[in-house]
Amino acid sequence: MDAMQPQSDLHGYFIEDLTIGMTASYAKTITETDIVIFAGISGDNNPLHLNEEFASESIFKGRIAHGMLTAVFISTVLGTKLPGPGCVYLNQEVKFKAPVRPGQTVNTKVTISDIIQEKKRVIAESVCWVGDKVVVEGTSMLLVPSREDT
């Protein structure tokens, strides 16, 4: 990337570019490494995530990925695709619906559901699923820059 590249070339969508119903998605297979690194970064060393013997005796009957590891893919879509670079998280609500196991692929889709132009706010609905099962649902509020801000 050119160091002299103007900031606007790195920018995602501006509030004026967005319309209700726009979508973007991301897919990621959860690996053992992802779970261990997330545990290290977050400090969440719950044995449900890291200890098969312990987890096999739980209601899940085996290890599961951290819920927040799964939910972070909502942030991935928002921060890199829609609205993309330049947006700022203001609020995130998530509902964890089902566990994700190591080796499963999480698909995430974000849909713009409302635009509050005068406040430069966007509401986005998100869903994460594995196969045909929803594992996480969420609603986000974002501050999205205007072309007037540049």
Positions of the chain with pLDDT lower than 50, given as ranges: 1-7
Confidence at residue 149, expressed as pLDDT on a 0 to 100 scale: 78
Put residue 119 in one of left, alpha, beta given phi > 0 → left and psi -120 to 50 → alpha.
alpha
Name the residue ranges covered by the structural domains of the chain. 7-29+73-149
Out of 1.10.760.10, 3.40.50.300, 3.10.129.10, 3.30.300.30, which CATH number does the structure's domain 7-29+73-149 have? Answer: 3.10.129.10
Q: What is the pLDDT of residue 10?
A: 76
Q: What is residue 5's predicted lDDT score, i.e. its pLDDT? A: 37
The confidence score (pLDDT) of residue 30 equals 98
Q: In the prediction, which pLDDT does 41 show?
A: 97
pTM score, two decimals?
0.89
Nearest Cα residue to 112 out of 100, 97, 122: 122
Can you give the pLDDT at residue 122?
Answer: 98
Instruction: For residue 99, say if its preceding peptide bond is cis, omega within 30 degrees of 0.
Output: no
**CA of 14: how far to CAs of 44, 102, 125, in Å?**
36, 36, 18
